[in-house]
């Protein structure tokens, strides 16, 4: 079991989106596919993510609008 499982809400720590919330969509070798309120779906190094205790229900086929709606409901 990994800390970065599908649906885990994280905070970006590096890059132009540092400090913003995102959701892990899938996990590959050392990288996670993330999507967030101000960012499109992209690949990110897991070392640049801070996992939170919050988790939402998403899948690879979830639309951007659904992810943003669920993410806005999470208070960090």
Which of these, 46, 38, 45, 74, lies nearest to 58 by C-alpha position?
74
What pLDDT does residue 76 have? 78
Q: How confident is the model at residue 1 (pLDDT cuts 50, 70, 90)?
A: low
> What 3 state SS string does the chain have?
CCCCCCCEEEEECCCCCCCCEEEEEEEECCEEEEEECCCCCEEEEHHHEEEEEEECCCCCCCCHHHHHHHHHCCCC
pLDDT-derived band at 9, boundaries 50, 70, 90 = very high
For residue 3, give both structure tokens: 């800390």
What ranges do the domains of the chain cover? 8-72
CATH of 8-72, one of 1.20.80.10, 2.30.30.30, 3.40.50.300, 2.40.50.140: 2.30.30.30
- Per-residue pLDDT tens for 16-54? 999 999 999 999 998 999 999 889 999 999 999 999 999
51 closest CA partner among 38, 70, 32, 67: 32
């Amino acid at each position: 079991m990994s800390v970065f499982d599908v649906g885990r809400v994280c905070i970006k720590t590096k890059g132009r989106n540092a400090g913003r919330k995102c959701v892990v969509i899938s996990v590959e070798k050392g990288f996670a596919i993330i999507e967030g309120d101000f960012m499109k779906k992209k690949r990110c190094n897991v070392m640049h993510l801070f996992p939170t205790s919050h988790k939402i229900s998403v899948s690879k086929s979830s639309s951007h609008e659904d992810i943003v709606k669920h993410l806005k409901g999470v208070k960090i």
